Amino acid sequence: MTKIKTHVLCCGGTGCKASASDQIIDEFQNILKEKGLQDEVQVIRTGCFGFCEKGPIVKMLPDNTFYTQVKPTDVRKIVEEHIIKGRKVTDLLYLDPENKQHVSDSKHMGFYKKQLRIALRNCGFINPENIDECISRGGYEGLGKVLSEMTPQQVIDEITKSGLRGRGGAGFPTGVKWGLCAKNKADQKYVVCNADEGDPGAFMDRSIMEGDPHSIIEAMAICGYSIGATKGLVYIRAEYPLAIHRLQVAISQAREYGLLGKDILGSGFDFDIELRYGAGAFVCGEETALIHSMEGKRGEPTFKPPFPAVSGYLEKPTNVNNVETFANVPIIITKGADWFNKIGSEKSKGTKVFALAGQINNVGLIEVPMGTTLREIIYEIGGGIKGGRQFKAVQTGGPSGGCLTTKHLDTAIDYDSLMAAGSMMGSGGMVVMDETSCMVAIAKFYLEFTCEESCGKCSPCRIGNKRMLEILDKITKGNGTMEDLQELRNLAGVIKDTALCGLGQTSPNPVLSTLDNFWDEYVEHVVDKKCRAGVCKQLMHYEINPEKCIGCGACARVCPQEAISGEKKMAHHIDNMKCIKCGACHEKCKFGAIEIK
């Protein structure tokens, strides 16, 4: 028997799949066969590695070589050089933006150095469609442990002790939530997994389901055992076909192994899981709206109480947790609450997955211990701001969160510190902005999203957000007044104070936090009619700096309006009457001569 000497892990997450990772895997298999190496090298389609910026990722084991941005055409070289001759393909290695050195081992990459992967422990490591790989990593042992060694109350106590809080955003203690549901007697209870990830840019839940679906199944069964539920439902948005597929595969494998269904592991405990597809409404991430949607009703929240723990799905006691929350559960059970609650900050235990995006070098999915500072995330893991520009703000928590500034860079982030800073954890979106971002436009962008996604049930959210958006639109077009700013603040306050659900109550956060942290920019828009970032088209124009212009004429050639004129080798000039501010010239000029004024 030939021994397998090399494992090729190839990311099969949605992002890398979109960049042809399927073809890469096919290509590996073909070429390995051609070389007669199919029995020595195992190619594994894994979940997401997180470093999506550099996808598709191919990781070679055991030597941990981390190839980035691999194309199907690179595969032959990897096989011939790396696998056959043991020589690394340097071109495909990650290039450290700081010292311009190639880094071969992911452990030495800034992106991974500070990370601690708990929820993502199996993502990018196992083949999510193979339950055996999951089991050999200790999968379902948490479930086995609770069923054979623990009472439901002990499970709840363990989770409570671990300090795990809801990763969907609000940070409610998970153990307490389970306890509330366990307390209510009913002929049927439900465990619901909220996989309706709706924050723009957030994709941790998708990645977990794609990369480690069994952890969710196991956690739901553990939860079911502790609260006395025999039915689990995963509410997942239909836009996640791969996650749906992986979950379906995982559920059927778990059933086949008797890890779902009747009499699990001989304990007498029954539990099974069904999938429910959502249409991807942001508000359906709110648990009461989610439940209504599952019942076939209009996805809109209702007033709590009654809480789902009392009256949820089909009016039965229901426990709803987010995907990432569940992903933490099995390992808490196997490693113990004491292991978990040593990680993180005082009131927020464990790790949090963030979707790092924006004007930052390393975009991707990261998992860090609670209490990591924004600076560490942005500069060490994120590799700093793109193009060496200045950091301006970081938006956390998606449309419900706020924009934090340089003064918050050393905040150790957890639920409470983010809330205190005027933002929130949310589901873990983190968008980094530099000086090219206009904060008024950013506030407007997020509000547009909330307006679109509001269910329209309560007046403050339905009409108030629309009115705020209209005022912001007025400001970005240069028609704002100081009274508008006052009205904006009042409206934001009232909406926060009166909206029915979490979506509405937090929707003014992007506006309020930018008003607080970037007041000057608002005033500039209103009083000076200026947008310093040059984003608000009505408030800027382009000018050619004659000192820098060499008269190459490149700008004039790309101008669709023929608004640029000038003699060859002489400084050019933009006719602002003709200019439509498309920015083509600005992008084209190699000399930085076209300036935003």
Site for other proteins in 96-135 (CB under 8 A): 104, 125-126, 132-133, 135
Interaction of residue 259 with other proteins, rule CB under 8 A: yes
CB atoms within 10 A of CB 157: 17
Interaction of residue 172 with other proteins, rule CB under 8 A: no
**Residue 240 C-beta: closest distance to other proteins, Å:** 20
Interaction of residue 5 with other proteins, rule CB under 8 A: yes
Closer residue to other proteins (CB): 4 or 580: 4
The closest of 418, 285, 409 to 347, measured between CA atoms, is: 418
Out of 18, 33, 91, 148, name the contact with other proteins by CB under 8 A. Answer: 148
Interaction of residue 583 with other proteins, rule CB under 8 A: no
**Residue 393 C-beta: closest distance to other proteins, Å:** 25
Out of 97, 241, 336, 456, name the contact with other proteins by CB under 8 A. Answer: 456
Out of 172, 257, 307, 339, name the contact with other proteins by CB under 8 A. Answer: 257
The closest of 422, 499, 431 to 464, measured between CA atoms, is: 499
Residue type, 580: I
CB atoms within 10 A of CB 394: 26
Question: What residues numbered 218-237 form the site for other proteins, per CB under 8 A?
Answer: none
SS3 category, 560:
coil
**Could you tell me the two tokens for 460?**
């403050």
Distance CA 443, CA 435 (A): 15
**Residue 257 C-beta: closest distance to other proteins, Å:** 5
Interaction of residue 451 with other proteins, rule CB under 8 A: yes
Out of 23, 230, 479, 498, name the contact with other proteins by CB under 8 A. Answer: 498
Out of 144, 397, 480, 566, name the contact with other proteins by CB under 8 A. Answer: 144
Out of 241, 266, 336, 546, name the contact with other proteins by CB under 8 A. Answer: 266
**Residue 86 C-beta: closest distance to other proteins, Å:** 4
**Residue 1 C-beta: closest distance to other proteins, Å:** 8
For 140-233, where are the alpha helices, taking DSSP H only?
141-149, 152-162, 174-183, 204-211, 213-227
Question: What residues numbered 459-478 form the site for other proteins, per CB under 8 A?
Answer: 459-467, 470
Residues contacting other proteins: total by CB under 8 A: 74
Q: Are strands 542-544 and 391-396 parallel, antiparallel or unpaired?
A: unpaired
**Residue 78 C-beta: closest distance to other proteins, Å:** 13
Q: Which residues contact 59 (CB under 8 A, 6 or more apart)?
A: 8, 9, 10, 49, 65, 66, 67, 106, 124
The closest of 574, 575, 488, 578 to 525, measured between CA atoms, is: 488
Closer residue to other proteins (CB): 494 or 570: 494
**Could you tell me the two tokens for 283?**
């508000």
Are the C-beta atoms of residues 148 and 129 closer than 8 Å to each other? no
Distance CA 50, CA 376 (A): 17
Q: Within 13 Å of residue 300, how many CA atoms lie on the same side as its CB?
A: 10
Out of 19, 319, 328, 454, name the contact with other proteins by CB under 8 A. Answer: 454
Interaction of residue 7 with other proteins, rule CB under 8 A: yes
Closer residue to other proteins (CB): 287 or 521: 287
Out of 453, 512, 535, 564, name the contact with other proteins by CB under 8 A. Answer: 453
What character string, x for contact with other proteins (CB under 8 A) and - otherwise, covers 78-97? Answer: -----xxxxxx---------
Closer residue to other proteins (CB): 36 or 388: 36
Interaction of residue 497 with other proteins, rule CB under 8 A: yes
SS3 category, 499:
coil
SS3 content of the chain, % helix, strand, coil (to 5): 45, 15, 40
Q: Within 13 Å of residue 232, how many CA atoms lie on the same side as its CB?
A: 29
Burial class (CB in 10 A: 0-12, 13-18, 19+), 401: buried
Interaction of residue 249 with other proteins, rule CB under 8 A: no
Question: What residues numbered 341-400 form the site for other proteins, per CB under 8 A?
Answer: none
Out of 22, 23, 61, 558, name the contact with other proteins by CB under 8 A. Answer: 61
**Residue 582 C-beta: closest distance to other proteins, Å:** 28
Out of 294, 441, 500, 531, name the contact with other proteins by CB under 8 A. Answer: 500
Closer residue to other proteins (CB): 83 or 394: 83
Cis peptide before 97 (omega within 30 of 0): no
**Residue 463 C-beta: closest distance to other proteins, Å:** 4
User: Which of the ranges 143-151, 182-190, 268-276, 402-410 carries the binding residues for other proteins, by CB under 8 A?
Assistant: 143-151
Out of 499, 535, 536, 556, name the contact with other proteins by CB under 8 A. Answer: 499
Question: What residues numbered 284-323 form the site for other proteins, per CB under 8 A?
Answer: 298, 300, 302-303, 305
- Quick one: angle between helices 213-227 and 174-183, nearest 10? 40
Distance CA 57, CA 51 (A): 8
Out of 35, 77, 145, 375, name the contact with other proteins by CB under 8 A. Answer: 145
Closer residue to other proteins (CB): 326 or 449: 449
Residue 561 per-residue DSSP state: T
Per-residue H/E/C for 318-343: EEEEEHHHHHHHHHHHHHCHHHHCCC
